[in-house]
Amino acid sequence: MRRIQDKRELGRRIDNERATINYEYWMKRSDIEQQKNTAEARRLVRKADEAKANGNPEEAKKLYDEAWDRWAVIFDAHPELITDIMAEDLKPSLDNYELVLRQLDLPFPEDFKLKRLREYYRQREEWEYLQSQTPSSQ
């Protein structure tokens, strides 16, 4: 009977520690980051950012479009990641994409596959702006 109680106590402590460090989240994130599609999506974004920085908007657009297709698959499978730091890493690249489209005199695609992510960024920016305009109570 004592061994059963000890095992239950150990299980309770493990669950408590897992909750403290958000174990389930980090396991899931680790699994997603190791997938070939995620690695390729990150590689394409990096290459697109480089092409934009090197003054090659046509190549940048092509690479961004490929990257967004891959990221769409990731976020469709894991929509909770849209508000995650993983998605936050894409903000500068999404801004670059908009600049590339302007350079090429192209409109932003109506059927953009990461529309939810873009909308999340816009809402957050609006909220941050409103927060900055609100006097803090002291």
H helices within the chain, ranges in order? 2-20, 23-33, 36-53, 57-77, 85-88, 91-103, 115-133
Same-domain check for residues 10 and 59: no
Both 54 and 74 in one domain: the answer is yes
Q: 83 falls in which pLDDT band (50, 70, 90)?
A: confident
Query: Do 90 and 120 belong together in one domain?
Result: yes
pLDDT higher than threshold 60 for residue 70: yes
The answer, yes or no, to whether residue 62 has pLDDT greater than 80, is yes
The answer on 85 and 59 residing in a single domain is yes
Nearest to 116 by CA among 64, 66, 81: 81
Domain that holds residue 27: 1-34
Instruction: Indicate whether 80 and 15 sit together in one domain.
Output: no
The model's pTM is: 0.75
What is the number of structural domains in the chain?
2
Structural domain contains residue 67: yes
Q: Can you tell me whether residue 49 is helix, strand or coil?
A: helix
